[in-house]
Structure 1
Amino acid sequence: MHDSTPNRKTAKNSLVIMVCTLMSRLLGIIKARVLGSVFGASAVADVINFTFNIPNNFRKLFAEGAVNAALIPAFSSLLGRNEKQRSVRLFALLCTFQSILLTPLVLVSYFYGEQLIAFLSDFDVQQIQLGARLLPFFMVYLATISLASIFNGVLQAHQNFIHAYLSPLLFSICVILGVWFLSDRYGAMSMAYSALVGGLLQGTYSYLVVRRYGYRFKPTLKAQNAPIKEVLSAWGLVSLGMGIQIITQMVSFLFASRLGEGSVTAFTNSTIFYQTPYGIFFNAISAVSLPLMSRAASQGDTKSLQTYTRNSLISLLALLLPSTIILFFLSQESVSVVLQTGNYTLSDARLTALVLRPYLLFMVFSAWYALMLRLGYSANRHALMTRIVFLQNLLDIVLMWVFLKFGLDIVSLPLANGLAYTIGLALLIFLLRDLYALPKDLLFLKGIVRIVCANLPLFIVCMFYHSLDLTWHREGSSFKSLLYLVLIGFVALGILLLSYKVARIPLLSLLRSKKKSGNLKSDDLVQFD
């Protein structure tokens, strides 16, 4: 009998991640609501969303990618060998490296902001000037959260997930309050000031917590046996893939800026709704499964690797398929209830819902693509995965251009994105068939059939609701509309729980980590090992 304490700890960490991600997504929706209420879907709102997307893209290079691919494994390895001094030295080196790298970016954004915005967008002169004023503040925000990513990586290596995932919430809270109370006086610059203060607050909070473990931000360039070269090598590899994704994202925003007024804002807001269920469930599952997959791959345990991969794919389907159905049929209602207030009109909400629906149609395939990438990373096939990421993003850009030429307008962007992910998934399934022959896995195929059948009642009820063509949501955001939306959501959730109970799909256990020996039983497919 094996110790269940680590499993309980893993489940607790997964729950912490899920709850914090949920809070982050909700705050993101509130932030979008405040921005929509204050700035609407105007040309000013387009500039704010476009300009803020620039540091958000760089964040993938200097924060998210670095933490997931290099920092956490490096610090965890050093701490596991009780090499605390090397860990402290590595911390100081990485902070110094980040500061040296990001300071020129801030200066360039200050002195050449107009040229950058003009090059990256199709805005008019006034919009370019506004973007140039906003950009330096947003780039300082990038610097602060990039350093915060190092602090949070160390916290996660010390198994301190609560503070690592709570600190980003401070930024959203600061932006919400800042824009709401300062916009009358400072206009669009209220977003710049709020982002600056929020980034500083997030970084300061994380640093104060990490200091408790003995880490200090002391500029240094001397490695002194710290594994800085190995970390930077891993960082560079994943950053290459992230860089390709950034280019694709910037191209999509460029295309959106060439369309009608409000297109950039609709594109931005649709991703917020899409990322809410996707982020919550994918993060909760991948955070648990990736270490298990990596351990099995390093030990040459192909059987366990296949089991972990199968469990994760089926769990994602069981959680994201009903999310897709519910949010697809309630897309207009959800956007109107959340965002339609102040200067954000019904037509703006309709445009956002229109962009959202294609994203939802491909949500499961997008999550499977990301999970299969992790299967490749767990087997140390980083170069191959980088090539797949390059091909997927190149295809995304080409499809966007083709669809726009065919007159699909703003819908071209999410449609191209979803199709590119689906084709990328097909390539991964073929190239990683030696690790996991997915099409030949009868347990996986049976799991798909069970979950799809279990979602049929939910789909039928949603279709019936859609046929009623109700108009209660058109009045926009109000307490009554919110009650209607919550009531419909609870009815849909009740139908789903009943269907899953009949089909013996343990929905609540999808977010728990259970270690068992042997293969999955045929009547209990959706579980973690």
Structure 2
Amino acid sequence: MSLVKKFMTVGGATLGSRIFGFARETLMAAALGTGPVADVFYAAFRFPNLFRRLFAEGAFNAAFVPLFAKEIEANGIDGAKRFSEEVFGVLFSVLLILTIGMQLSMPLLVQWIIAPGFANDPEKFDLTVRLAIVMCPYLMCMSLTAMLSGMLNSLHHFFAAAIAPVFLNILMIGALGWALWTGADPAATAWALSWSVLGAGLLQMAVVYIGVRNAGIRIGFKRPRFTPNVKRLLVLAVPAAITGGITQINQLIGQAIASTKEGAISALQYADRIYQLPLGVVGVAVAVVLLPELARALKGGHMKEAGNLQNRSIEFVLFLTLPAAAAIWVLSDEIIRVLYERGAFSEQNTAVVASILAIYGIGLPGFVLIKALQPGYYAREDTKTPMRFTMVSVALNTGLAITLFPIFEESGIAMAEAAAGWTNTILLFSVLLWRGHLIFEWSLVTRTLRLMIASAIMAGLLVYLSDRWADWLSPSSPLFEQLLALGGLIAIAMPVYFGIAFLIGGADWRLVLRSLKRRKKTADEAVVSPAEQDQQ
């Protein structure tokens, strides 16, 4: 299977999850708007969701996958099973203690980390604490799910791990549907959502566990022991967890600062949901697939192929994110108005959230490139260098957020996150290039410039069309007509961008597919896992 097809497998499953996520956020906007209960729920959900993003979207895999792959090559499936059981025993025990400890200390966590601005409002503070306690075990479920997903990805079973997150959105949509159907008050809606999050964590873990069993590995619980392999995993995992969660760490900082203004947290969340679509579909897919591929090539001594994989992944990311960033920038008002402006979500809310989304659009290529560049370090078992860059990024984000929030309010938080993301990207790229782990190609530079030209032409067309179709996109128009107009803009923009990109040489799918194709007789097939050999 080609690398592009693997990207599409993971990206397609992630796309399904993100579409359900849009439906969830649309119902959330209708039910809660940007009111105080929306702020409370998103603040309480941010902490367990932070761990979902930290672990489920690559950070744990960054440490686990290379070691798991090495174990398969050295000792086969039996050795990989023993290693997995060692890790599972330690991880389960540590997470259980951590979860209980966090639940007991939740008032302090809310006061000092999650939402310091709620401390002056006893009602909001108390509800945030109670909702966070209910959702806290979700982080344990997701951390174990991440380990099982890493096993599946290493065995080239990508779909089950990629589709599992859809169950979170399905259960939350069910809770919101119940609340809107019964006319539940905001507090009751928040409680229903919290219990749906916990149920989703258990369901996701069950899905990937069944996937691992179907892949031929049955994990049993063993008494936790810190074996040499487990110790090595922990040495790699701690900095990887910090690094992999850079976006979430920055958002947590932004949330803490934004909690001083009512409605700011939920406004940032609604904008975050939009740009998470391309970030998840492209960035997560690239990160999940590229890491085991790079690790496999490097362990087989195929340095040239590793460099080619890295460059083609960067090209793939830019090919898809540059037009997405341009579209988000020029259509931010239309996107937010059509998706959210109804019920408790007002025209004023649209203006605020749209301004945040436009800024996130600028940062989008940087956020996604981080996902494509970090595997270049992780595959070489270097998790400390990206962690150092993360620290620089967090420091920059914190300083800018504190400085800009009093001036630009919520938009200042988004500016800080975008600047921090691009800074991290530049550092990751520069050091990979300096170390010789990234092959400099003028063709990649010229293609990037051509893709920017194609994106700019597409953006100009969208500005013209959105102005001509303003009446159809207006809130006074029927929802179906609004959705049809927005869909029409996207349907026209995509072929225009792709056509121009191919015409001026910004992309050549034949070259990309040919360079990424992995056939049985290529050199890296010499180091495939027994599981993959069985599949072939």
TM tier relative to shorter chain: 0.7 to 0.9
Alignment of 1:173-188 (within 5 A): 173-182=170-179, 184-185=183-184, 186-188=188-190
Instruction: State the distance in 1 between where 2:13 and 2:21 align.
Output: 12
> Is the alpha carbon distance of 1:226 and 1:160 closer, same or farther for their aligned partners in structure 2, counting shifts above 3 Å?
farther
Q: Is the 8 A contact 1:306 1:436 kept in 2?
A: no
> Is the alpha carbon distance of 1:38 and 1:510 closer, same or farther for their aligned partners in structure 2, counting shifts above 3 Å?
farther
Question: Paired residue for 2:23?
Answer: 30
Is structure 2 residue 150 aligned with structure 1 residue 148? no
Instruction: State the distance in 1 between where 2:311 and 2:493 align.
Output: 27
Residue by residue over 1:302-333, the C-alpha shift from the partner in whole angstroms, topping out at 9 and shown as x without a partner, is 65554443333233222111111222222111
Instruction: State the distance in 2 between where 1:127 and 1:248 align.
Output: 23
Question: Paired residue for 1:218?
Answer: 221
Alignment of 1:518-529 (within 5 A): none
Q: Is the 8 A contact 2:270 2:353 kept in 1?
A: yes
Question: Paired residue for 1:14?
Answer: 7
> Is the alpha carbon distance of 1:90 and 1:159 closer, same or farther for their aligned partners in structure 2, counting shifts above 3 Å?
same
Instruction: State the distance in 1 between where 2:379 and 2:109 align.
Output: 38
> Is the alpha carbon distance of 1:418 and 1:244 closer, same or farther for their aligned partners in structure 2, counting shifts above 3 Å?
closer
> Is the alpha carbon distance of 1:94 and 1:379 closer, same or farther for their aligned partners in structure 2, counting shifts above 3 Å?
closer
Question: Paired residue for 1:275?
Answer: 276
Question: Paired residue for 2:328?
Answer: 327
Alignment of 1:28-67 (within 5 A): 28-65=21-58, 67=60
Amino acid at match of 2:224: L
Is structure 2 residue 413 aligned with structure 1 residue 416? no
Give the drift of 1:231. Answer: 2.0
Question: Paired residue for 1:389?
Answer: 390
Is structure 2 residue 141 aligned with structure 1 residue 159? no
Is structure 2 residue 364 aligned with structure 1 residue 363? yes
Question: Paired residue for 1:86?
Answer: 79
Instruction: State the distance in 2 between where 1:456 and 1:248 align.
Output: 29
Question: Paired residue for 1:229?
Answer: 231
Q: Is the 8 A contact 1:109 1:135 kept in 2?
A: no
Is structure 2 residue 259 aligned with structure 1 residue 257? yes
Give the drift of 1:296. Answer: 5.6
Give the drift of 1:165. Answer: 1.4
Amino acid at match of 1:189: W
Instruction: State the distance in 2 between where 1:391 and 1:307 align.
Output: 29
Instruction: State the distance in 1 between where 2:439 and 2:218 align.
Output: 48
Question: Paired residue for 2:524?
Answer: none
Question: Paired residue for 1:445?
Answer: 445
Unaligned runs of 5+ in 1: 1-6, 518-529
Instruction: State the distance in 1 between where 2:469 and 2:268 align.
Output: 25
Is structure 2 residue 69 aligned with structure 1 residue 76? yes
Work out the percentage of aligned pairs sharing the same amino acid. Answer: 22
Question: Paired residue for 1:499?
Answer: 500
Question: Paired residue for 2:349?
Answer: 348
Instruction: State the distance in 2 between where 1:511 and 1:139 align.
Output: 43
Amino acid at match of 2:433: R
Amino acid at match of 1:341: R
Give the drift of 1:501. Answer: 3.4
Is structure 2 residue 312 aligned with structure 1 residue 311? yes
Instruction: State the distance in 2 between where 1:98 and 1:301 align.
Output: 33
Instruction: State the distance in 2 between where 1:137 and 1:54 align.
Output: 12
Residue by residue over 1:126-164, the C-alpha shift from the partner in whole angstroms, topping out at 9 and shown as x without a partner, is 111111111122111222222222222222222221212
SS at structure 2 position matched to 1:342: coil
Give the drift of 1:512. Answer: 4.9
RMSD over aligned Cα atoms: 2.9
Alignment of 1:511-522 (within 5 A): 512=513, 514-515=515-516
Give the drift of 1:371. Answer: 2.9
> Is the alpha carbon distance of 1:451 and 1:209 closer, same or farther for their aligned partners in structure 2, counting shifts above 3 Å?
closer
Alignment of 1:369-384 (within 5 A): 369-384=370-385
Question: Paired residue for 2:96?
Answer: 103
Instruction: State the distance in 1 between where 2:287 and 2:245 align.
Output: 22
Give the drift of 1:480. Answer: 1.5
Q: Is the 8 A contact 1:38 1:180 kept in 2?
A: no
Instruction: State the distance in 2 between where 1:73 and 1:305 align.
Output: 14
Instruction: State the distance in 1 between where 2:179 and 2:62 align.
Output: 38
SS at structure 2 position matched to 1:188: helix
Question: Paired residue for 2:135?
Answer: 138
Question: Paired residue for 1:454?
Answer: 454
Is structure 2 residue 209 aligned with structure 1 residue 207? yes
Q: Is the 8 A contact 1:286 1:312 kept in 2?
A: no
Give the drift of 1:294. Answer: 4.5
Residue by residue over 1:77-114, the C-alpha shift from the partner in whole angstroms, topping out at 9 and shown as x without a partner, is 32334533333233333232232222233333443333
Amino acid at match of 1:98: L
Q: Which moved more, 1:52-61 or 1:84-93?
A: 84-93
Q: Is the 8 A contact 2:95 2:140 kept in 1?
A: yes
> Is the alpha carbon distance of 1:437 and 1:462 closer, same or farther for their aligned partners in structure 2, counting shifts above 3 Å?
farther
Q: Is the 8 A contact 2:250 2:417 kept in 1?
A: no
> Is the alpha carbon distance of 1:243 and 1:472 closer, same or farther for their aligned partners in structure 2, counting shifts above 3 Å?
closer
Question: Paired residue for 2:126?
Answer: 129
Instruction: State the distance in 2 between where 1:439 and 1:88 align.
Output: 36
Amino acid at match of 1:127: K
Q: Is the 8 A contact 1:302 1:435 kept in 2?
A: no
Q: Is the 8 A contact 2:448 2:506 kept in 1?
A: no
Residue-pair matches, total: 507
> Is the alpha carbon distance of 1:413 and 1:112 closer, same or farther for their aligned partners in structure 2, counting shifts above 3 Å?
same
Question: Paired residue for 1:170?
Answer: 167
Question: Paired residue for 1:472?
Answer: 472
Give the drift of 1:356. Answer: 0.6
SS at structure 2 position matched to 1:227: helix
> Is the alpha carbon distance of 1:58 and 1:449 closer, same or farther for their aligned partners in structure 2, counting shifts above 3 Å?
closer
> Is the alpha carbon distance of 1:341 and 1:412 closer, same or farther for their aligned partners in structure 2, counting shifts above 3 Å?
same
Amino acid at match of 1:76: A
Question: Paired residue for 1:431?
Answer: 431
Give the drift of 1:390. Answer: 0.9
Amino acid at match of 2:229: P
Instruction: State the distance in 1 between where 2:25 and 2:355 align.
Output: 17
Question: Paired residue for 2:404?
Answer: 403
Q: Is the 8 A contact 1:65 1:242 kept in 2?
A: yes
SS at structure 2 position matched to 1:330: helix
TM-score (norm 1): 0.87
Instruction: State the distance in 1 between where 2:517 and 2:166 align.
Output: 35
SS at structure 2 position matched to 1:433: helix
Residue by residue over 1:257-287, the C-alpha shift from the partner in whole angstroms, topping out at 9 and shown as x without a partner, is 112x221111011111111112212234444
Q: Is the 8 A contact 1:179 1:194 kept in 2?
A: no
Instruction: State the distance in 2 between where 1:497 and 1:15 align.
Output: 17
Instruction: State the distance in 1 between where 2:144 and 2:60 align.
Output: 11
Instruction: State the distance in 1 between where 2:288 and 2:219 align.
Output: 28
Unaligned runs of 5+ in 2: 519-536
> Is the alpha carbon distance of 1:431 and 1:76 closer, same or farther for their aligned partners in structure 2, counting shifts above 3 Å?
closer
